[in-house]
């Protein structure tokens, strides 16, 4: 079975509605990835790994050595520039930095931070190295080099500078988290856990680094699907820091992922009572209650309160819109979506939500128009897919192809766009064009299982003997894909290897028991293997009126032929 737009892009009244959920992986309330609440121009912030090195410290936020302290005036100058950077007043920060003498590590650390905002990695690294030449024990410089070495996959150097940082200050949470990330990137899962556990023990009693490491360990256990460990960790923290809001926040999330909803509700209510300005936990509580129909009024009240507390953040309004969509109160949802668009015109959020509402209402022309406007603000894969899906739904395949070609011209090596074009051409039976785009994908990514599968399917329709080898490659790479198994099994039958095909197709059916095309292919495999009786037994249930699949007419004809024998 080819993985084309027909089989991979859902185009119906429910497409693209992504409900607001609690992330069971990171134990944090999040807007689903489709609705990114971050300003697209707000991408250049001081890296989070430096937060415990900068404004959170009351002492000099840069130099962590035992050298004599800078003059009070110079410290004030450095802190002023750092605050300007954190507020994204980069031009003013640059002007202030130019007034200072370039003879201290602090100067070069600030220079590096400004280079980071401009995404000038080489200059940032050079600045950190200049700072280290003046002070080898400067924490920000060491951590800066550790971070960028990690990002460029130079793990040995990243570990070196992280270890140096811990030698200077063994309470530095950021260094432990980076070491854990290094181990994780090498698939050393147990080592990553041990780093975090040892770090937790080392900083015990020092609340800020302890809570930061505990939060990271919580996320680690969530990714590893170990909710009981999250619960035990949260209980230990609660025993050590009873009624601390940050700890209670971890406890609430631990209770949620362990399906202790009533306890989580109590903990979240406690948090909200402790802090009347707490928007985050109001949203989390609303999300927890949203499945309880009798709590509808409370959910909406919590989201309204959160929205009032976060007037510069649209997330509560986004939650409210998607909740109203869930309740099928589309008129009210549309009002809130329009409000988001008016309040945050620099974001695509409001338009995306509006587009989803139009899709639910089957207003495809309006949905297309608003999604195209959203795409102009925030071009991303999900919006691209939505636009293509709507055009396909409307039968405007030529326009879908033109749109995809336009985007490909901006990024000729984009495999996702090549795949979309290949699928569109394949759906139009323009197989030569489809082959070209699949081959473009494979020239960049030889182990792209979907491209291999689809190319194998096309070749099988052309009786090209290369189809079997390609289908086998796709199966070897991704043996848990029912569609890939189906293609492989179908081609095995086609090339006279029906016995092996039966085994492969049975496995495919186990993975996707409601893919009736696969069951029909299994019947064909039985027939090719001389087992007419089993072929009839396999086909007969497929003829029921409620069983809809692309090859149903072929199945009916084969069943009739077998019964005549």
pLDDT at 27: 30
- Residue 424: both structure tokens together: 């569109």
φ/ψ (deg, to 5) at 28: -135, 140
pLDDT above 80 for 223: yes
pLDDT above 60 for 419: yes
Name the pLDDT band for 315 (thresholds 50, 70, 90): very high
Q: How far apart are CA 379 and CA 366, in angstroms?
A: 18
N- to C-terminal Cα distance for the chain? Answer: 29
Rg (CA), the chain: 29
pLDDT at 504: 97
pLDDT at 9: 33
pLDDT above 60 for 249: yes
pLDDT above 80 for 26: no
Q: How far is CA 458 from CA 162, 438, 449, 472, in A?
A: 51, 10, 14, 14
Q: How far apart are CA 158 and CA 146, in angstroms?
A: 4
pLDDT at 41: 36
Q: Closest Cα partner for 1 from 461, 466, 502?
A: 461
pLDDT at 547: 82
Tell me the β-bridge partners of 30: 21
Q: How far apart are CA 280 and CA 274, in angstroms?
A: 13
pLDDT in tens, 98-114: 998 888 899 999 999 89
Q: Closest Cα partner for 525 from 493, 478, 486?
A: 493
Mean pLDDT score of the chain, rounded to an integer?
87
- Residue 199: both structure tokens together: 């770090």
pLDDT in tens, 88-99: 888 998 998 999
pLDDT at 429: 92
Name the pLDDT band for 37 (thresholds 50, 70, 90): low
DSSP 181-226: HHHHHTT-HHHHHHHHHHHHHHTTT-HHHHHHHHHHHHHHHHHTT-
User: What pTM value is reported for the model?
Assistant: 0.74
φ/ψ (deg, to 5) at 132: -70, -30
Tokens 């031009």, residue?
91
**Which has the higher per-residue pLDDT, 284 or 17?**
284
105 touches 86 (CB < 8 A): no
Strands (E), 343-428: none
pLDDT at 486: 96
429 touches 2 (CB < 8 A): no
Q: How far is CA 478 from CA 216, 458, 459, 475, 481, in A?
A: 31, 19, 19, 5, 6
């Amino acid at each position: 079975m080819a993985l084309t737009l027909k089989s991979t892009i859902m185009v119906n009244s429910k497409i693209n509605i992504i409900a607001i959920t609690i992330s069971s992986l990171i134990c944090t309330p999040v807007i689903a990835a489709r609705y990114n609440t971050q300003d697209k121009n707000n991408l250049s912030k001081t890296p989070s790994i430096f937060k415990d090195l900068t404004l959170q410290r009351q002492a000099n936020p840069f130099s962590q050595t035992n050298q004599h302290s800078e003059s009070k005036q110079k410290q004030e100058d450095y802190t002023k520039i750092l605050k300007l950077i954190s507020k994204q007043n980069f031009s003013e920060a640059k002007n202030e930095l130019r007034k200072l003498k370039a003879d201290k590590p602090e100067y070069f650390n600030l220079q590096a931070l400004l280079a980071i905002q401009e995404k000038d990695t080489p200059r940032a690294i050079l600045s950190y190295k200049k700072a280290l030449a003046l002070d080898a024990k400067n924490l920000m410089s060491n951590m800066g080099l550790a971070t960028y070495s990690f990002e460029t996959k130079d793990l040995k150097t990243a570990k070196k500078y992280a270890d140096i940082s811990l030698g200077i200050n063994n309470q530095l949470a950021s260094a432990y988290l980076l070491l854990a990330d290094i181990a994780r990137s090498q698939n050393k899962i147990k080592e990553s856990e041990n780093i975090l556990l040892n770090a937790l023990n080392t900083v015990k009693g020092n609340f800020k680094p302890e809570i930061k490491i505990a939060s990271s360990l919580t996320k680690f256990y969530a990714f590893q699907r170990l909710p009981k460990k999250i619960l035990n960790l949260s209980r230990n923290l609660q025993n050590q820091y009873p009624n601390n809001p940050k700890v209670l926040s971890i406890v609430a999330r631990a209770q949620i992922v362990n399906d202790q909803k009533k306890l989580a509700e109590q903990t979240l209510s406690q948090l909200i009572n402790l802090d009347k300005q707490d928007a985050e936990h109001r949203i989390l509580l609303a999300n927890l209650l949203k499945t309880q129909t009798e709590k509808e009024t409370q959910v909406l009240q919590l989201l309204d309160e959160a929205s009032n507390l976060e007037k510069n953040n649209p997330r509560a309004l986004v939650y409210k819109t998607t909740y109203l969509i869930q309740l099928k109160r589309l008129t009210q949802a549309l009002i809130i979506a329009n409000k988001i668009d008016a309040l945050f015109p620099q974001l695509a959020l409001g338009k995306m939500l509006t587009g989803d509402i139009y899709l639910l209402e089957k207003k495809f022309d309006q949905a297309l128009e608003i999604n195209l406007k959203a795409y102009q603000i925030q071009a991303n894969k999900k919006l691209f897919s939505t636009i293509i899906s709507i055009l396909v739904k409307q039968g405007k395949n030529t326009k879908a192809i033109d749109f995809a070609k336009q985007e490909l011209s901006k990024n000729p090596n984009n495999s996702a766009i090549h795949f979309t074009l290949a699928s569109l051409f394949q759906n139009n039976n323009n197989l030569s064009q489809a082959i070209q785009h699949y081959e473009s994908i494979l020239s960049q990514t030889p182990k792209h299982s979907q491209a291999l599968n689809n190319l194998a399917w096309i070749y099988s329709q052309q009786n090209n003997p290369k189809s079997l080898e390609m289908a086998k490659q796709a199966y070897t790479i991704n043996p848990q894909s029912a569609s890939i198994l189906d293609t492989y099994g179908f081609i095995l039958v086609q090339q006279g290897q029906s016995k092996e095909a039966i085994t492969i197709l049975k496995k495919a059916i186990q993975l996707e028991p409601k893919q009736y095309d696969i069951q029909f292919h299994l019947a064909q495999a039985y027939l090719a293997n001389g087992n007419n009786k089993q072929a009839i037994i396999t086909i007969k249930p497929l003829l029921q009126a409620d069983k809809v699949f692309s090859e149903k007419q072929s199945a009916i004809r084969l069943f009739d032929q077998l019964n005549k024998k």
